[in-house]
């Protein structure tokens, strides 16, 4: 094999394909990337862990066709530290990469030992706009379960019927659901794709052209997601996914609209005062005063209370108290991109639906409330130095000046904190068993 290719192009191919490789491959060949150069002038790079496979390709100046399997980490580290045009020559599993100032040699594996990507037999072919599919994945993935004992809940469930398509996920305490329309009508079809496969697919979709489409080839046990410069093949999860529609109420007595950024700001202020086990934030919807008061219970470290303006469409003229897990609520808001959100619910212990006002897709998150008896404001925080209306207005005004970039940067900073530095209480919380059915927590 002999070819010439730009370093930036090869680096991008490697970066995409190596996401299909396991961090701890069970076989050395699964820690390698398969490099294929064809007579048609196409260079293809493939990575797989047997459950998910990623294939990506690009045009290259190929002088001699051939195939080689190279260690993914060593190849990525090598190419990322080079620049300019690269000349690649492979002979007897030895790959020599020549650049402007020197050469590198990588000893490869046997390409014949590299597993073949399964072909989807008699597939149903579906086309979905790339950006809609990416938005749907971002809106659902965070609600999928991490409990391997309920394997089907660790994926995202897709459904097609006529011109409608939807996807949903649940971990037993909350669920996410998005839906949209297709240009073509399809026979009823449903399948569940593993979380890991879709996380890698979302990365590929993020680099797709705005007007591009993703072709899905759905078979009995596998699915292919095909984009102009990449393909992802994944196994499908077996098992009966819960009937999502049975959990979502069909009508609501209360609809309350709030500023998304304003609520995010308040949750960041007060959530660290919440008790560690259930992380409860109490929301008192003060309908007549057109405001929502968020508060935490009295804990060893203290408590907090804050308010923001609301718009209501409710048949009830009295205050309504609901207790929610602040972590679930913050994640739901993080995955909504519109300026306003709407809370829909009936009774305090029945499901709470959180949806964007507008947006690219029909989207909702369902969160089960917590049984809280006391919605009185903390005694020591009841007296304030300014009228409530002024403070509430300030929260709404402040929200207009807080950018999504600032919020996302704070969330990224939190998520990048090494797990070893997290407090033990958070570790215990992460290890808590997730139940397969939606339940209301009692505290």
Residue 352 sits in a domain whose CATH number is 3.10.150.10
On whether residue 147 sits in a domain, the answer given is yes
156 in Cβ contact with 141 (< 8 Å): yes
Does 168 share its domain with 305? no
Regarding predicted confidence, which is higher, 389 or 144? 144
Predicted confidence at residue 359, as pLDDT, reads 85
Does 291 share its domain with 333? yes
Q: How far is CA 104 from the centre of its chain?
A: 38
Residue with tokens 């195939």: 67
Pairwise CA distance, residues 201 & 156, whole Å: 12
* Residue that terminates a domain, selected from 186, 213, 245: 245
* Residue that terminates a domain, selected from 88, 113, 138: 113
* Residue that terminates a domain, selected from 113, 138, 164: 113
Does 206 share its domain with 301? no
Does 259 share its domain with 365? yes
In DSSP terms, 258 is beta-bridged to 341
Mean pLDDT of 43-72: 96
On whether residue 81 sits in a domain, the answer given is yes
Confidence of residue 431 (pLDDT cuts 50, 70, 90): very low
How buried is 239 (Cβ within 10 angstroms: 0-12 exposed, 13-18 middle, 19+ buried)?
Answer: exposed
Does 319 share its domain with 428? yes
On whether residue 310 sits in a domain, the answer given is yes
Residue 142: C-alpha distances to residues 193, 218, 361 (Å):
14, 23, 17
Residue 112 Ramachandran class (φ > 0 left, ψ -120 to 50 alpha, else beta) = alpha
Confidence of residue 410 (pLDDT cuts 50, 70, 90): very low
In DSSP terms, 292 is beta-bridged to 285, 308
Structure tokens at 277: 């086990």
Does 7 share its domain with 38? yes
On whether residue 317 sits in a domain, the answer given is yes
Does 293 share its domain with 399? yes
**Residue 302 per-residue DSSP state:** B
Does 261 share its domain with 406? yes
What b/e sequence results for 191-205 when a residue is b if at least 16 CB atoms lie within 10 Å of its CB, and e otherwise? bbbbbbbbebbbbbb
Does 332 share its domain with 370? yes
Largest CA distance in the chain: 80
| Structural domain span for residue 58 | 2-113
Q: How do residues 307-366 score in pLDDT, each as one tens digit? A: 999 988 765 567 889 999 999 999 999 999 999 999 999 988 999 999 999 888 899 999
Count CB neighbours of 61 within 10 A: 13
Q: How many CA atoms lie within 13 A of 378 on its CB side?
A: 19
Does 311 share its domain with 241? no
Q: How many CA atoms lie within 13 A of 139 on its CB side?
A: 29
On whether residue 119 sits in a domain, the answer given is no
Residue 109: C-alpha distances to residues 17, 27, 28, 68, 154 (Å):
17, 12, 9, 7, 34
Q: How do residues 150-168 score in pLDDT, each as one tens digit? A: 999 999 999 999 999 999 9
Predicted confidence at residue 128, as pLDDT, reads 95
Does 300 share its domain with 437? yes
Predicted confidence at residue 191, as pLDDT, reads 97
Predicted confidence at residue 294, as pLDDT, reads 94
On whether residue 78 sits in a domain, the answer given is yes
The percent of residues above 90 in pLDDT, for the chain, comes to 66
pLDDT at 437 over 70: no
pLDDT at 440 over 70: no
Mean pLDDT of 24-52: 94
Q: What is the pTM of this model?
A: 0.83
pLDDT at 390 over 60: no
| The length of the chain, given as a count of residues | 443
pLDDT at 141 over 60: yes
Mean pLDDT estimate for the chain = 86
What b/e sequence results for 395-415 when a residue is b if at least 16 CB atoms lie within 10 Å of its CB, and e otherwise? bbeebeeeeeeebeeeeeeee
Confidence of residue 33 (pLDDT cuts 50, 70, 90): very high
Mean pLDDT of 223-230: 94
On whether residue 106 sits in a domain, the answer given is yes
The DSSP result for 217-237, as a single string, is: EE-SSEEEEEETTEEEEEEPP
Predicted confidence at residue 400, as pLDDT, reads 55
Provide the number of structural domains found in the chain.
3
Residue with tokens 């804050």: 306
In terms of Cα–Cα distance, which of 97, 2, 9 is closest to 58?
9
On whether residue 118 sits in a domain, the answer given is no
Does 351 share its domain with 375? yes
Regarding predicted confidence, which is higher, 374 or 247? 247
């Amino acid at each position: 094999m002999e070819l010439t290719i730009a370093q930036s192009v090869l680096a991008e191919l490697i970066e995409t394909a190596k996401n299909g490789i396991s961090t701890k491959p069970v076989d050395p060949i699964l820690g390698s990337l398969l490099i294929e150069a064809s007579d048609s002038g196409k260079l293809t790079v493939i990575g797989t862990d047997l459950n998910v496979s990623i294939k990506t390709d690009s045009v290259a100046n190929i002088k001699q066709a051939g195939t080689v399997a190279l260690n993914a980490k060593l190849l990525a580290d090598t190419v990322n530290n080079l620049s300019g045009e690269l000349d690649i020559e492979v002979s007897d599993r030895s790959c020599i990469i020549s650049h402007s100032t020197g050469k590198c040699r990588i000893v490869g594996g046997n390409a014949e030992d590299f597993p073949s990507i399964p072909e989807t037999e008699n597939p149903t072919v579906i086309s979905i706009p790339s950006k809609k599919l990416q938005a749907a994945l971002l809106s659902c993935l965070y609600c999928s379960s991490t409990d391997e004992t309920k394997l089907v809940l660790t994926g995202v469930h897709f459904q097609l019927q006529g011109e409608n398509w939807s996807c949903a996920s649940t971990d037993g305490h909350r669920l996410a659901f998005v839906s949209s329309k297709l240009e073509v009508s399809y026979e009823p079809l449903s399948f569940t794709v593993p979380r890991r496969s879709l996380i890698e697919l979302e990365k590929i979709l993020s680099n797709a052209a705005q007007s591009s489409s993703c072709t899905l080839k759905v078979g009995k046990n596998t699915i292919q997601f095909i984009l102009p410069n990449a393909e992802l093949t994944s196994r499908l999860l077996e098992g009966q996914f819960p009937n999502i529609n049975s959990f979502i109420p069909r009508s609501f007595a209360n609809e309350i609209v709030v500023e998304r950024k304003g609520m995010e700001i308040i949750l960041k202020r007060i959530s660290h005062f919440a008790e560690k086990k259930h992380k409860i934030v109490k929301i008192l919807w003060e309908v007549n005063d057109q405001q929502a008061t968020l508060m935490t219970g009295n804990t060893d470290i203290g408590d907090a209370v804050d308010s923001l303006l609301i718009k209501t469409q409710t048949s009830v003229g009295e205050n309504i108290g609901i207790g929610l897990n602040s972590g679930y609520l913050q994640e739901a808001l993080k995955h909504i991109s519109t300026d306003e959100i709407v809370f829909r619910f009936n009774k305090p212990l029945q499901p709470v639906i959180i949806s964007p006002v507008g947006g690219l897709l029909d989207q909702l998150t369902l969160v089960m409330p917590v049984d809280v008896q006391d919605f009185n404001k903390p005694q020591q925080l009841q007296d304030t130095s300014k009228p409530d209306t002024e403070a509430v207005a300030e929260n709404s005004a402040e929200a207009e000046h807080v950018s999504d970039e600032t919020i996302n940067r704070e969330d990224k900073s939190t998520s990048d904190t090494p797990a070893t530095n997290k407090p033990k209480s958070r570790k215990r919380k992460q290890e808590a068993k997730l139940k397969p059915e939606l339940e209301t927590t009692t505290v």
